[in-house]
Amino acid sequence: QSVLTQPPSVSAASGQKVTISCSGSNSNIGENHVSWYQQFPGTAPKLVIYDDEKRPSAIPHRFSGSKSDTSATLDITGLQTGDEADYYCGAWDSSLSAVVFGGGTKLTVL
């Protein structure tokens, strides 16, 4: 059971928008930054969002992040088949003194 809760799967049509949620608590998302990672099968995760909403320079503007209270969200607009991957959220948990990850969300582009 992961400390951060993500839906196991989401899907949306090509060209549309999808939202992936990450729910936590005051000790993690509530008071620390959230990062998001994209992982294709058999490869290492790749950072797509850090500090809740910042995007590495190589990541398209189609990817955006936000946070409110103890929940964070990753939005992907203009979905492409190449976006099909697993997505993980992560944050520091001040109570556990540990990095915590969500269980991952599998994105399917229809």
Partner 1 sequence: QITLKETGPTLVKPTQTVTLTCTFSGFSLTTDRVGVMWIRQPPGKALEWLALIYWDDDKRYSPSLRGRLTISKDTLKNQVVLTLTNTDPADTGTYFCARLYQGLDTWGQGTLVTVSS
46-49 and 63-68 strand pairing = unpaired
Contact 23, 7 (CB under 8 A): no
Interface mask (CB under 8 A) for partner 1, residues 40-59, using x and -? ---xxxxx-xxx--x-x---
Per DSSP, 82 falls in state G
Could you say whether residue 60 binds partner 1 (CB under 8 A)? no
Could you say whether residue 88 binds partner 1 (CB under 8 A)? yes
d(CA 66, CA 45) in angstroms, rounded, equals 20
Could you say whether residue 37 binds partner 1 (CB under 8 A)? yes
Identity of the residue, 51 or 69, whose beta carbon is nearer to partner 1 in the bound complex? 51
Could you say whether residue 85 binds partner 1 (CB under 8 A)? no
Q: How far is CA 76 from CA 8, 27, 28, 42, 79, in A?
A: 17, 27, 23, 22, 6
Identity of the residue, 16 or 48, whose beta carbon is nearer to partner 1 in the bound complex? 48
- Interacting residue ranges for partner 1, rule: CB under 8 A: 2, 35, 37, 43-47, 49-51, 54, 56, 88, 90, 96-104
